[in-house]
Structure 1
């Protein structure tokens, strides 16, 4: 072997076969610029201008410390135009843009402006208020720059990231920071939102819907919220992970107008120190299941109350919101491998991810003008309605899905669960429809509203 071959072999042996993540090792590396990353990523980040019309009430007593409160509903209403701004990310060359739902909510007109100042009208094709995501389609757009997705499960605390957006409407701006924390959440099972990546990259009003990208210019998350008492950035910003964003975009591309998230059909809580000790765990981890609906895919797979779900598809789940996030990223129709503990034993089950079932059928009814509850729309509670109205798993009976006319005047609201009318229990929509034909002039309706029992009384 020649001297050159020996040197080459030694050099190759000392060279890592995979890329390393490490801090700068020299002054030269510290002086390196992110400009190439920004030049590649920034053209796919857009400014969004949304216009909405709201009804505002104008009172002659406005500003008066006494009469303004006394006559708060006095005065005529008239339409008022409100403008909002935010950011978005182009995720498909044919003009598909993802942003935050709150940026475009109730907008009557949306204008999207690219970095090169091209302007497009846009329409919302999928809205998901729960996850605060919206997908827009630009009119007559083609061959647009696109920001590629990165697997957000591979992101680690300490990774460098750039936040790109339009803070305060001053124009596209880039700020740098790191991933400060993973799995920020505080939401119970059954809701699905509230799972974020945390970053100290400056995020301000107007950055909402903008891109959080890694050092290779790949989309890590959609910037959505900050913690601040002043309204400005305090270095505590949150982004929706790209894996969830990708799942929402995929459904929009398939023609869906609402994001269909898998239904867990369980109630549970994060395992804390006290629980882990009582369960005999060496460290607090996982989500302990306290209740399972009979149709829950986890129940079908064999899980029971008291089981502790540790991982889904090998990724840890340490809060209910993280559990729902993992399921949502996989999507309806997929399967997930659930690792769980039961009586100290480690078990694995294959769980088929399903949409909340329409069983029993809704049996939706709208009561006519010849009834005491004219304008009331009701349906039979099933898992789909539980998910839509955030009802507990044990909910049963009849739910109000709409209320107008006499029903609204009586105080009924969508989401109310009707327990009884004039002392008679109401188990089905047919029971309510029959009871509403009574000729009684005095009425008592017992309901559950947001889990609290209420009694409505009125005369007709």
Structure 2
């Protein structure tokens, strides 16, 4: 009996040991691993947990901003602009010999902004330049033929007009001077013929000059809102749905958006529009100073290349600046309440002014600040006399009318000149095969070489034909 009890105890102990061993070798590793993982995750710092989170600065930046309000308020006031350019070009040597040709048509597209309920539309000059026909399509797919009121090629602005049966949705002008760097904006337009496209971004910079001073009238708003071909002439609006710019240009090696876009400030566009409606041309107010061009030899040699402001090299004594007391060597720091750090700041502000307007100019002179009230003067048309003809530079409206970027208009011609066919209304395009860019350039050529050096003159006639006149020695 004792022997049987001993065997039973051994058997029970053996079973317990066997089950325990089985449990240890078959289950424990999994539980140990699970426990280990649990412990690891339980001690992981919460800022490393891989869960979606919102960036606090981004959340703060967008708090309270309603993009839908601005989009809904503006999208129906941005239109699709299509221009048709028809030219007659020779297709064969016989066409060239006979002066005939076949019509060729090119189609260009862009955007425009309705700025009044009666159908006035702002767009870019390059969108409609040289067009024979302009068509505007609204967001509701209604199309109208548009008439060209006028343009300002120097700021790439054009004004169109359509006649509709009802009042049209429009966008009110905002104050671009009050726009702040970092402020949210929307670009509304028709990129790649995709109508009613809205993109968002911020104002990246103001007073941008893309030509680094070569085109002194540029003063763009820079934004990182996506702008592509077809957006030209479209709206740049703030979150209140106010127009603060006309989208105009991008800088890209590919021709498509890469992060930078530029718009003409609304204050400049509005002033151009008002001038075209009131005067038929753009009224440009001149300060009367000759600024230092940065990176010029003089600026570098005299340590003036990094001047903060606009350094005055010379002053026209009869101009508003000269009469007010501004002198050579002054550094313009402010116009009214607008800070001036470079010439595009100055030219941009003056582009919103007219002749006769008084601007308070603050300058730095010998470590002292002085303020002068300057009455802006009117830009006078430049004329030149050539071979018994009086010629003048083309106005912005005349350049737009003829689709030209250069040339001089014949305003007077002697009987002898008229007898050979050159009459007032002809436009001189080339001298000796070179383009005539301005009256000043032609005058400089005449003074340097004399009229006797002129061999050929190329004109655009009053009926649009091109004629060349050859002068014998």
Q: Are the counterparts in 2 of residues 94 and 141 from structure 1 also a CA contact under 8 Å?
A: no
- 2-structure distance, mates of 1:284, 1:240: 25
- The correspondence for 1:344, drawn from 344, 367, 382, is 367
Corresponding residue of 2:50 = none
Q: Are the counterparts in 2 of residues 59 and 76 from structure 1 also a CA contact under 8 Å?
A: no
Given the superposition, is the C-alpha separation of residues 105 and 412 from structure 1 closer, same or farther in structure 2, using an over 3 Å criterion? closer
Corresponding residue of 1:218 = 242
- The correspondence for 1:250, drawn from 267, 274, 286, is 274
1:181 equivalent in alignment to 2:190: no
Given the superposition, is the C-alpha separation of residues 357 and 258 from structure 1 closer, same or farther in structure 2, using an over 3 Å criterion? closer
1:46 equivalent in alignment to 2:95: no
- 1-structure distance, mates of 2:448, 2:229: 52
- The structural deviation recorded for 1:234 is 0.4
1:355-383 deviations in whole A, cap 9, x for unaligned? 1246xx95x76x7xxxxx5xx6335x9xx
Corresponding residue of 2:389 = 377
1:459 equivalent in alignment to 2:472: yes
Corresponding residue of 1:444 = 453
Q: Are the counterparts in 1 of residues 313 and 329 from structure 2 also a CA contact under 8 Å?
A: yes
Q: What RMSD, in angstroms, separates the aligned Cα atoms of the two structures?
A: 4.0
- The correspondence for 2:442, drawn from 400, 409, 417, is 417
- 1-structure distance, mates of 2:74, 2:299: 45
Q: Are the counterparts in 2 of residues 276 and 284 from structure 1 also a CA contact under 8 Å?
A: no
Structure 1: which 5+ residue stretches go unaligned?
1-21, 61-71, 368-372, 389-398, 427-431, 433-442, 447-456
Task: Provide the secondary structure at the position in 1 that maps to 2:274.
Answer: helix
- The structural deviation recorded for 1:412 is 7.5
Corresponding residue of 1:204 = 228
- The structural deviation recorded for 1:56 is 3.7
Given the superposition, is the C-alpha separation of residues 26 and 284 from structure 1 closer, same or farther in structure 2, using an over 3 Å criterion? closer
TM-score between the two structures when normalised by the length of structure 2: 0.69
1:207-256 deviations in whole A, cap 9, x for unaligned? 000001111111110000001111111011000111101111211332x3
Given the superposition, is the C-alpha separation of residues 41 and 387 from structure 1 closer, same or farther in structure 2, using an over 3 Å criterion? closer
Task: Provide the secondary structure at the position in 1 that maps to 2:80.
Answer: strand
Q: How does 1:328-407 map onto structure 2 within 5 Å?
A: 328-357=351-380, 373=387, 377-379=389-391, 402=410
Corresponding residue of 2:149 = 125
Corresponding residue of 1:435 = none
Q: Are the counterparts in 2 of residues 95 and 142 from structure 1 also a CA contact under 8 Å?
A: no
Task: Provide the secondary structure at the position in 1 that maps to 2:285.
Answer: coil
Given the superposition, is the C-alpha separation of residues 351 and 138 from structure 1 closer, same or farther in structure 2, using an over 3 Å criterion? same
Q: Are the counterparts in 2 of residues 292 and 299 from structure 1 also a CA contact under 8 Å?
A: yes
Given the superposition, is the C-alpha separation of residues 302 and 25 from structure 1 closer, same or farther in structure 2, using an over 3 Å criterion? same
- The structural deviation recorded for 1:131 is 0.4
Task: Provide the secondary structure at the position in 1 that maps to 2:186.
Answer: strand
- The structural deviation recorded for 1:57 is 4.5
- 2-structure distance, mates of 1:387, 1:58: 34
- The correspondence for 1:100, drawn from 120, 124, 127, is 124
- 1-structure distance, mates of 2:313, 2:98: 49
Task: Provide the secondary structure at the position in 1 that maps to 2:378.
Answer: coil
- 1-structure distance, mates of 2:180, 2:301: 29
Corresponding residue of 1:440 = none
- The correspondence for 2:347, drawn from 288, 307, 324, is 324
- The correspondence for 2:316, drawn from 271, 285, 293, is 293
> Higher helix share goes to which structure?
2
Q: Are the counterparts in 1 of residues 284 and 353 from structure 2 also a CA contact under 8 Å?
A: no
Task: Provide the secondary structure at the position in 2 that maps to 1:110.
Answer: strand
Corresponding residue of 1:234 = 258
- 2-structure distance, mates of 1:32, 1:25: 11
